[in-house]
Amino acid sequence: MPLRTGTDARALPSTGETMADYAAVIEIPKGSRNKYEVDHETGRVFLDRVLYTTFVYPTDYGYFENTLGLDGDPVDVLVLLDYPLFPGVGVKVRPVGVFNMTDDGGSDAKVIAVPAKDPRWAHIQDVADIPEYTRKEIEHFFEHYKDLEPGKWVKTEGWGDAAEAEKIIQAGIAAYVPEH
C-alpha cells in the first residue's frame, strides 16, 4: 500500500535531461548501522534491525514509492549526497547507474541516483562518472554487510549504466499494482 503522502515515482515530470526525475523516499541515512523500514500502510518508520556487522551505510538508502522490484519490495535506490537526509524524507533524484546483486531474498538491484536539481552532482550522468572509490565502498558494503547474520548471504553481480537503471525503475512502475 502506498504511503499516505501520495508521493509517486511516476508523478515527477522529466527535466528534459538524459534521464527523468523520480521521487525517492529515504529509509536509511548515510553513516547509519540502523536498518529502518517504512510501513507502507501507516507511513511510520520502524527500526527493522541494527546491522550485525560494524559496517555503516555508504550512501542514503531508500526506495521508489509505488514500484515493485523483482524481490517483491519497492525498487531500491542509493542516493549520493553530500549530507545525509532523514528517514521518511522524499527527494527528487536522477538515476545514474545500478549495482546488481542477489541475496537470500532473490534479485535485489540497487539503483544509484543523484539529487535531480543539485548542481554539485550535475556532472554525474552515468555509473562511469561515479568516483571509483565510491563504487568500491558501495560494493564492499553490500558484499559484507550481512556476513554475521545467520542464514543470510549476498552475491554481487557488478554495475549497470543509467539506461539499465531507468529500465529497472520503469519495470517497477509497470509491475506495481495498488492495493485497495
- Indicate if 108 belongs to the active site: yes
CA distances in angstroms from 109 to 98, 105, 168, 170, listed in the order given = 7, 12, 8, 13
Q: What CA–CA distance (Å, rounded) separates 101 from 108?
A: 5
Q: What are phi and psi of 110, to 5 degrees?
A: -115, 110
Residue in this structure with the C-alpha cell 547474520, named with its chain if needed: 149
Q: What CA–CA distance (Å, rounded) separates 134 from 59?
A: 9
Selecting among 108, 118, 126, 161, the annotated active-site residue is 108
CA distances in angstroms from 19 to 5, 23, 42, 68, listed in the order given = 24, 13, 31, 20
| Residues across the chain | 180
3-state helix, strand, coil in the chain (%, to 5): 20, 30, 50
The DSSP secondary structure of 14-25, one letter per residue, reads P-SSSS--EEEE
User: What is the amino acid identity at position 180?
Assistant: H
- Name the residues annotated as catalytic: 108
